[in-house]
Structure 1
């Protein structure tokens, strides 16, 4: 009989073990942190004990998580001439450039103003990047506090050599 291997999340192991020994027949362990659950019994396992578990080598995704992901992935359309909602800071990547406050306020007023403000911000970033000296290929950049290391291909600045190396491998594999 095929068994389903369940490795509960660390903080739920004791609770899962209590549930397992309360079953008839008892659910067996197959390693120090993994249980073998019969398929007919797996469907009765409490959802809160399975969240965060590894089931047959895959992370368990609860139906509640699926509903949240489905709701978040629905396409939302804007209404012409209405401002877009502001996003929290956590929605932006670590290297995102924030608009200065006047442009941010303008961007919230109308789509046309938002496009103009974004264009101005992108041009300002491009001008700032163009004014920096590109790194010479093969030269060891300094790792000092706040030192800017610039990509020799696209002039994107980095604060560490490791970040620059990762960028070159991903963005410029041919270089």
Structure 2
């Protein structure tokens, strides 16, 4: 259902149209109607002008054209490509504007800058100019309490018995259930 709140001047005309439908359209508030989605496209244009449809003001195609808005996909100056979502893209292989020959990548990684990642090797420092002026550096995490002394990493022993757990949460649950006195 699509909620339509007609313009106050059009409310009576909209209501008259709504009760003529089979089945009748229902009201969802004193000023709004629930219009079936499949019947919304057949609604007369003059009833929708000035209306609020699903929380957004309805803009008729005539009003949109009067404001000078371009249609969604217009042919660009190259004559081969179309505009997509407000930005020009030139995907056609014969487009003279879409060629990237002779262009330099600015702010993008180049082949010379790629390195092979080595496990265990620290990540290289990021240059200071990559950060905004108001950025705040993060502090290093304290890893001193990661595992109890003498226990291998990823093993969490119970303090009251000789059982080991793979997660800290599992160990804590065990201690609450089996050793409530501790």
Q: TM-score, normalised by structure 1?
A: 0.39
Normalising by structure 2, what TM-score?
0.37
The structure having more radius of gyration, on CA atoms, is 2
Q: Which has the higher contact order (CA 8 A, sep 6+)?
A: 1
Normalized per residue, which structure has more helix? 1
